[in-house]
C-alpha cells in the first residue's frame, strides 16, 4: 500500500481514493439491493466502512468534498429533469404547512432536550437549528430509484424541502447572529426576500422560458450535444444564483432540472444520468466518511446521542406529518419519513457552531452522528411507508 500512497497530494493517491470510494459504494449498493434494501443504504455504509470510523483507508479531504458537492448538484438536477409537468404552485400551501411545522417541532424538541441535559441556551438552540433542515438529496435518490417521483406525497416532500431550506437558512442566520451577540433584522429580511423571490420566479417562469429557448438553441447550433451543453450551463448558473440569493445551491440545481424537464430529449436525460451515476457515490459515501464513533466513548454522550436521534426522527414525523394530515395517515407518514434525513445540512450547522466557539467537541460529534444516522435510517423507513405502492406496481418491497 505504501507504494500507492507515496505522498498525500500526488495523483496516484487521489486515484486510489476515488477507486476505493466509487468501488466500495457501488459494491455495497449491490449488496444492499440483493438484501432487499435501498442502494443508498449500501453507499452510505461504504463511506463508514472505508472511512476513519472503521478501516481508515480514506480520510475526508477537499477534493472528495468537491466531488461530493458536484454529486448532490447532479442528483437534484437529474431528479428535476424527471418531474415533467410538476409545478410547485400545485402543492404550495400543503408544502408550506409541512415545512413550517417541520421546522418548529424539531427546533423546539432539540432545544428542550439539550436544556434538560443542562446545556446553555445557545448550545441548545444550535442543536435545534441542526435538527431543522432536511437533506433532500437522500430522499430524492431513494424515490427516484424506486420510480416514485410522480406520487403526490413524493412531490410534496420535494416542494416542502425547498421551503424548509429557506426557513432553515433564516433560523441558522438568527442563531449565528445570537452567537455573535447581535441580530441584524434588515439583513435577515433581505436574505429571506431574495431567497423566496429567486425560488418563486424560477419555479413559475423557468419552464415556459426554456420551452422557447431550447428549440432555438437546437436550430442555431452545430453541436450534436447542444441540449446537454445548455443543460450543464443552466445547472451551474442557477446553482450559483441560488447560492448568491441565500438558498442552497442544490435548490438551484433542482429548479434548473425542473425548468428543463419538458424541453430536453431522452438522449440528454441519459447523458445527465451517466454523469450523475459517476458523481453521486462520492456524495453518499462522503457522508459516511464523517461518521465519528467517539460519541460512544462516554456513557452520557452515548445516551444523549441516542435521545437526539430519536427526537430528530420523531419530531419530523410529527411536525411534517401534521402538516400533511389532511392527505391521510399513509401520505402523512410518507411525508414525515421523507423529511427525516439531515445529511450534510446538519453537519454544516455543526461546523458553523464549532467555528464560532459555541459547540463543544462532544456536542459536535453528537450532531454529526445525528446527521448521518437520520440519513441512514430514512431510506429504510421510506421503503416501508411506500410498500403498498411498490407491491401494487409489482416492484420488490422486501
Contacts of 48 (CB under 8 A, 6+ apart): 54, 288, 289, 291, 372
Q: Domain range for residue 315?
A: 61-392
Residue 120's region, left for phi above 0, alpha for psi from -120 to 50, else beta, is beta
82 falls within a domain:
yes
Asked if the structure places residue 52 within a domain, the reply is no
For residue 158, what is its C-alpha cell? 420535494
Cβ-contact 37, 276 below 8 angstroms:
no
16 lies in a domain?
Answer: no
Calpha distance 266→280 (Å, rounded):
20
Q: Is residue 67 part of a domain?
A: yes
SS (H, E, C) 73-120: HHHHHHHHHCCCCCCHHHHHHHHHHHHHHHHHHHHHHHHHHHHHCCCC
Q: For the chain, what is the total number of helices (H) and then of strands (E)?
A: 16, 0
- pTM (2 d.p.): 0.77
Going through 210-362 in order, the beta strands assigned E by DSSP cover none
Residue 147 lies in a domain: yes
Residue written as cell 452510505? 44
Q: Which residue has the cell 424515490?
A: 143
Q: Minimal CA–CA distance to 366: which of 286, 289, 306, 299?
A: 306
Q: How far is CA 127 from CA 174, 257, 260, 305, in A?
A: 13, 33, 37, 11
Residue 144 and residue 82 in contact, taking contact as beta carbons nearer than 8 Å: yes
The residue among 117, 154, 108, 112 whose CA lies nearest residue 330 is: 154
Cell numbers 450551463 label which residue? 233
- Find the CATH number of the domain harbouring 241: 1.20.1530.20
| 326 domain-assigned | yes
Does 17 reside within a domain?
no
Residue 90 lies in a domain: yes
How many domains does the chain divide into? 1
pLDDT in tens, the chain (398 residues): 444 444 445 778 888 999 999 999 999 999 988 887 778 888 888 988 998 888 889 988 888 989 988 988 898 888 888 777 666 666 667 888 888 898 899 999 999 998 988 888 888 888 888 888 787 777 888 888 778 888 888 888 888 887 887 787 777 777 777 666 666 667 667 777 777 777 778 777 777 888 788 888 877 787 778 889 999 999 999 899 888 877 778 788 888 888 888 888 888 889 998 999 999 899 888 888 877 777 677 788 788 888 999 999 999 999 998 988 888 888 889 999 888 888 666 777 776 776 667 777 778 888 888 888 888 888 888 888 888 887 776 554 44
Amino acid at each position: 500500500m505504501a507504494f500507492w500512497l507515496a505522498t498525500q497530494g500526488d495523483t496516484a493517491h487521489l486515484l486510489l481514493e476515488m477507486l476505493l470510494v466509487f468501488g466500495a459504494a457501488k459494491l455495497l449498493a449491490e449488496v444492499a439491493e440483493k438484501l432487499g434494501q435501498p442502494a443508498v443504504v449500501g453507499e452510505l455504509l461504504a463511506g463508514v466502512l472505508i472511512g476513519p470510523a472503521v478501516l481508515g483507508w480514506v480520510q475526508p479531504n477537499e477534493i472528495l468534498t468537491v466531488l461530493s458537492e458536484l454529486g448532490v448538484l447532479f442528483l437534484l438536477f437529474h431528479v428535476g429533469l424527471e418531474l415533467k409537468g410538476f409545478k410547485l404552485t400545485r402543492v404550495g400551501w400543503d408544502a408550506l404547512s409541512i415545512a413550517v411545522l417541520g421546522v418548529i417541532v424539531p427546533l423546539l424538541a432539540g432545544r428542550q432536550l439539550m436544556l434538560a441535559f443542562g446545556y446553555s441556551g445557545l448550545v441548545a438552540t444550535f442543536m435545534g437549528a441542526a435538527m431543522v433542515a432536511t437533506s433532500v438529496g437522500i430522499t430524492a435518490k431513494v424515490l427516484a430509484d424506486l420510480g416514485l417521483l410522480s406520487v403526490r406525497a413524493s412531490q410534496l416532500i420535494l416542494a416542502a424541502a425547498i421551503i424548509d431550506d429557506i426557513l432553515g437558512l433564516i433560523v441558522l442566520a438568527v442563531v449565528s447572529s445570537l452567537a455573535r451577540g447581535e441580530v441584524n433584522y434588515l439583513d435577515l429580511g433581505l436574505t429571506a426576500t431574495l431567497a423566496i423571490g429567486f425560488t418563486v420566479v424560477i419555479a413559475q417562469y423557468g419552464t415556459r422560458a426554456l420551452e422557447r429557448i431550447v428549440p432555438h438553441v437546437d436550430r442555431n447550433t452545430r453541436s450534436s450535444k447542444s441540449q446537454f451543453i445548455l443543460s450543464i450551463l443552466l445547472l451551474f448558473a442557477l446553482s450559483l444564483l441560488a447560492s448568491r440569493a441565500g438558498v442552497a445551491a442544490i435548490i438551484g440545481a433542482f429548479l434548473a432540472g425542473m425548468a428543463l424537464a419538458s424541453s430536453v430529449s431522452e438522449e440528454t436525460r441519459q447523458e445527465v444520468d451517466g454523469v450523475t451515476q459517476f458523481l453521486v457515490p462520492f456524495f453518499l459515501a462522503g457522508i459516511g466518511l464523517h461518521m465519528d464513533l467517539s460519541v460512544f466513548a462516554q456513557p452520557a454522550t452515548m445516551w444523549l446521542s441516542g435521545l437526539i436521534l430519536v427526537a430528530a426522527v420523531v419530531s419530523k414525523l410529527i411536525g411534517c406529518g401534521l402538516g400533511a394530515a389532511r392527505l391521510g395517515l399513509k401520505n402523512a407518514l410518507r411525508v414525515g419519513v421523507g423529511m427525516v434525513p439531515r445529511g450534510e445540512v446538519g453537519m454544516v450547522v455543526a461546523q458553523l457552531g464549532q467555528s464560532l466557539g459555541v459547540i463543544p467537541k462532544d456536542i459536535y460529534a453528537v450532531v454529526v452522528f445525528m446527521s448521518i444516522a437520520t440519513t441512514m435510517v430514512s431510506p429504510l423507513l421510506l421503503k416501508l411507508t411506500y410498500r403498498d405502492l411498490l407491491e401494487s406496481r409489482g416492484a420488490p418491497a422486501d
